[in-house]
Amino acid sequence: MATTTYTGTPVAGPAAGTAPAPAAPGRRARTGFGLLGPRRGRHELSAAEFDALALPVADDGVVIGTDEHGAPAVLGTGRPVPFDIVLVGGVWTAQVLALRAVGTGARVAVETGRRQMWTALAQAANTGQQAITLHDVGRVPPQGPAVHSPVLVVRDCGVRPPRGRTGPAPWQSVLTLLPYPGPTTPRLTARADVVGIQRVSPDEARQLGRAMNLPPHDVDTLSTLPDGVTLWCTRTSRTYVTMQPTEPETGLLGAARRMD
């Protein structure tokens, strides 16, 4: 008996001088690849079907609270494109966002003129590595953001923040914290990708309403928002988000508050 060698288990071949059996109709013999297995559809897409292939990456980011329906609200700070955020509100909310960004694997650089308000947070987060770094105003060095090391820059520079040396970039988002609207607010909100607004005075609410194209009901609501509630909006969409701190966040930062 002659033997034919395959990559799989050797299988006995036909006796010498005997013609091989014809292949089954519609199937051609394969040499050197073992026995034919079950026939299944190939995992392939045609060119016309390729556009339907997508990955669910729109819901990743920092959980900033729950929306009006009780569903988690997520702010995608780690993006392959520049992302600019403006928050008109209190430092407490910005600190919770920074702490949660660290929890997602991001590095946080805080540019601030009130370092004492961020020192405890940085010390708590920097366990084994420099997850949160503090910098004086205008002194933030290049952060070197990358897909495996995204960066969130928090600018806590008062109501008139100077132009930053480190701006939005791929995998680097910038959050500008404004305690209340000021002369630079229209310029900052005009270029922002998303704006968060906490409780403000009625006059300030009207100013922000014009800038963000808010309907009258939302303009009236802004002056009555409870602590911990933020209206996150663009010029075409908006949602109210309630931030509920976890026990460790409450122990470190205290309860939700609008004023510092």
For residues 48 and 41, the answer to whether their CB atoms sit within 8 Å is no
Cα–Cα distance between 14 and 3 in angstroms, integer? Answer: 8
Q: Of 244, 238, 195, 197, nearest to 215 (Cα)? A: 238
Domain span including residue 213: 68-138+146-253
**Residue 162 located in a structural domain:** yes
On whether the pTM is more than 0.75, the answer is yes
Collect all residues with Cβ–Cβ distance below 8 Å to 31 and sequence separation of at least 6.
Answer: none
Please report, for residues 71, 205, 209, the alpha-carbon distance to residue 40 in angstroms, rounded to integers and kept in the order given.
41, 62, 59
For residues 99 and 106, the answer to whether their CB atoms sit within 8 Å is no
Q: What is the dihedral of CA 96, 102, 106, 111, to 10 degrees?
A: 50
The secondary structure of residue 258, as a DSSP letter, is S
Q: Could you tell me which residues are beta bridge partners of residue 155?
A: 111, 176
**Residue 102 located in a structural domain:** yes
What tokens were used for 221? 């609501």
Q: How confident is the model at residue 4 (pLDDT cuts 50, 70, 90)?
A: very low
Q: Could you tell me which residues are beta bridge partners of residue 135?
A: 111
Which pLDDT score, from 0 to 100, does residue 5 have? Answer: 46
Q: H/E/C letters for each residue in 115-179?
A: HHHCHHHHHHHCCCCCCEEEECCCCCCCCCCECCECEEEEEECCCCCCCCCCCCECCEEEEEEEC
The predicted-structure confidence for 73-97, as pLDDT tens digits, reads as follows: 999 999 999 999 999 999 999 999 9
Cα–Cα distance between 132 and 152 in angstroms, integer? Answer: 9
The predicted-structure confidence for 114-128, as pLDDT tens digits, reads as follows: 999 999 999 999 887
| Mean pLDDT for all residues in the chain | 85
The predicted-structure confidence for 24-50, as pLDDT tens digits, reads as follows: 555 555 555 455 545 555 556 666 665
Which pLDDT score, from 0 to 100, does residue 56 have? Answer: 39
**Residue 35 located in a structural domain:** no
Structural domains counted in the chain: 1
**Residue 92 located in a structural domain:** yes
Cα–Cα distance between 167 and 51 in angstroms, integer? Answer: 33
Which pLDDT score, from 0 to 100, does residue 44 have? Answer: 64
Indicate which CATH number applies to the domain containing 154. Answer: 3.40.50.300
For the ranges 68-72, 85-89, 217-221, the lowest mean pLDDT is seen at 68-72
Question: Is residue 22 over pLDDT 90?
Answer: no
Which pLDDT score, from 0 to 100, does residue 129 have? Answer: 81
The predicted-structure confidence for 155-195, as pLDDT tens digits, reads as follows: 999 999 998 888 999 999 999 999 999 999 999 999 999 99
Phi-psi label, residue 33: left if phi above 0, alpha if psi -120 to 50, beta otherwise: alpha
**Residue 4 located in a structural domain:** no
